[in-house]
Structure 1
Amino acid sequence: MSTVNEGAPQASEMRLCAAGFVARVTDRGRLPLDYSVASLRIVDFLIDGLRRGGADRERTRQTLLGLGAYVGEVLVRRAGAAWVDFDQDQRTYFGQPVGVRMPDGRVWNPLGKVHNRFRVGGPGESLQTFYLTLHGRARRAVV
């Protein structure tokens, strides 16, 4: 029996979630969301725009999920991570149902990092900095 909350994303759905988000936000715009490390600056910019616009967390829930899926997928493609469903202790600790496991076995919480950037803001919560200082990355990009 699954311990996944009804409606909570699962690891097996996150790649598709990221792709759907990218398709929606790049359909009419020119946002360069290409799963590169540099594109994480765009994610920072988008989240800052939501904050400045006064959006509340509930109204932005799906957008933040899409952004978190995108950040996680950058980790999968560029750092050798893999999506994982968190166990109950990890869910409690991270406050999210899914995350990524790095090649060295460490787990990280990209969805939570996106929520922190939205809630706190500022350079200390940068998603690009998160990637660049991330422990456990693969030495070579995985595409």
Structure 2
Amino acid sequence: MRSQAAGFVTRVTARNRLPLDYSVASLRLVDFLIDGLRKGGADRERARETLFGLGAYVGEVLVRRAGAVWEDFDADQRAYFGQPVGVRMPDGRVWNPLGKVHNRFDTGGPTESLQTFYLTLHGRARRVVA
């Protein structure tokens, strides 16, 4: 997933000069990008690759800033989360950044903010070296 996130950032920043720098603050930009897809009339299928890239990016922010590690979900987790991968936090909790991006796209609004998701996330490491 790390390479997925890096490839997405390379493609998006080359064309648009977006400051996707894996910072917590950049998650607000992810919120705006998803809102723009919704307002632009994209349906989930047309936005599928972009949403996957944004989900990989959000997960990578969790890896770099919160001490998470990427993890392939087992069959039960895949059924529950609806995604093949997620992240495991230092305290053992499992989170689904790909699903969180889809939730933001589907419902929008501040209750599904990716930046708020990070800031209220349980299980973060206190200090992570990126």
Q: Same fold (TM over 0.5)?
A: yes
Structure 1 residues not aligned, in runs of 5+? 1-13
* Contact 1:35–1:70 under 8 Å retained in 2: yes
For the pair 1:123 / 2:121, whether they are aligned, the reply is no
* Contact 1:68–1:111 under 8 Å retained in 2: yes
For the pair 1:141 / 2:128, whether they are aligned, the reply is yes
Separation of aligned partners in 1, 2:37 and 2:10: 19
Give the share of equivalent positions with the same residue, in percent: 85
**In angstroms, what is the RMSD of aligned CA positions?**
0.6
* Contact 1:76–1:142 under 8 Å retained in 2: no
Q: CA deviation at 1:69?
A: 0.1
Match of 2:92 in 1: 105
The amino acid across from 2:80 in the alignment is: Y
Separation of aligned partners in 2, 1:135 and 1:86: 19
* Contact 1:83–1:98 under 8 Å retained in 2: yes
Q: CA deviation at 1:33?
A: 0.1
Q: Provide Cα deviations, 1:24-73, integer angstroms capped at 9, x if missing partner.
A: 00003221000000000000000000000110000111000000000000
Structure 2 residues not aligned, in runs of 5+? none
Secondary structure at 1:99's aligned position in 2? strand
Match of 2:21 in 1: 34
Secondary structure at 1:27's aligned position in 2? helix
TM-score by structure 1 length?
A: 0.90
Separation of aligned partners in 2, 1:142 and 1:82: 13
